[in-house]
């Protein structure tokens, strides 16, 4: 129960910070600093320049944030006292996360196609909204406990 509170409360915070970091990647022109995906110049840990560090930080923070989102679904799914509504919002968040990973890959491989980049941002906002809704449902479920 306590772990779910932590992961559900931190998920929207980390997702918001990831969106801000993505904006920084875009604003600094670092979006193609790693021109391949999922690696960077074919390496797990690339040779760093400032643009590569910015893009790579976005990718690593996305991985870290994704773990919280997936952990939420896992914790909710395997505890019987949680509501169907909570399970649904968490499941939708993970489905959107999978779409986000694919959109991130397409953003890089399409050389920052504006439509794909816009869809990547729009989907990030949906993920934020659903993770925030999940956190509110967790809070309401355990209020006073």
Which helix (H) or strand (E) covers residue 110, if one does?
A: none
For residue 38, report the phi and psi dihedrals to the nearest 5 degrees: -90, -5
DSSP state of 48: P
In angstroms, the CA 145 to CA 139 distance is: 10
pLDDT digits (tens, 9 = 90+) for 64-112: 999 999 999 999 998 767 889 999 999 999 999 999 999 999 999 999 9
Total tally of structural domains belonging to the chain: 1
Locate 124 and state its tokens: 């990030």
Nearest 5°: the CA angle 32, 120, 115 is 80
How much is the pTM? 0.93
pLDDT digits (tens, 9 = 90+) for 2-56: 899 999 999 999 999 999 999 999 999 999 999 999 999 999 999 999 999 999 9
Residue 43 bridge partners (DSSP): 40
Domain with 17 in it: 2-142
Hey, is 40 helix, strand or coil? strand
Residue among 21, 19, 50 nearest 33 (CA): 50
Distance, CA of 83 to chain centre: 23
């Amino acid at each position: 129960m306590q772990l779910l509170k932590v992961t559900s409360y931190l998920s929207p915070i980390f997702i918001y910070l990831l969106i801000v970091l993505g904006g920084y990647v875009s604003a600094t022109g670092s979006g193609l600093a790693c021109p391949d995906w999922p690696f960077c110049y074919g390496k797990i840990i690339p040779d760093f320049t400032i643009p590569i560090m910015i893009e790579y930080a976005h990718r690593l923070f996305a991985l870290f944030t994704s773990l919280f989102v997936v952990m939420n679904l896992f914790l909710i799914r395997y505890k019987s006292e949680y509501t169907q509504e909570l399970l649904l919002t968490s499941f939708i968040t993970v489905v959107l996360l999978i779409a986000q990973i694919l959109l991130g890959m397409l953003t890089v491989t399409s050389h920052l196609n504006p439509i794909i980049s816009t869809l990547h941002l729009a989907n990030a906002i949906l993920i934020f909204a659903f993770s925030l809704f999940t956190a509110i449902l967790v809070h309401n479920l355990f209020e006073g406990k």
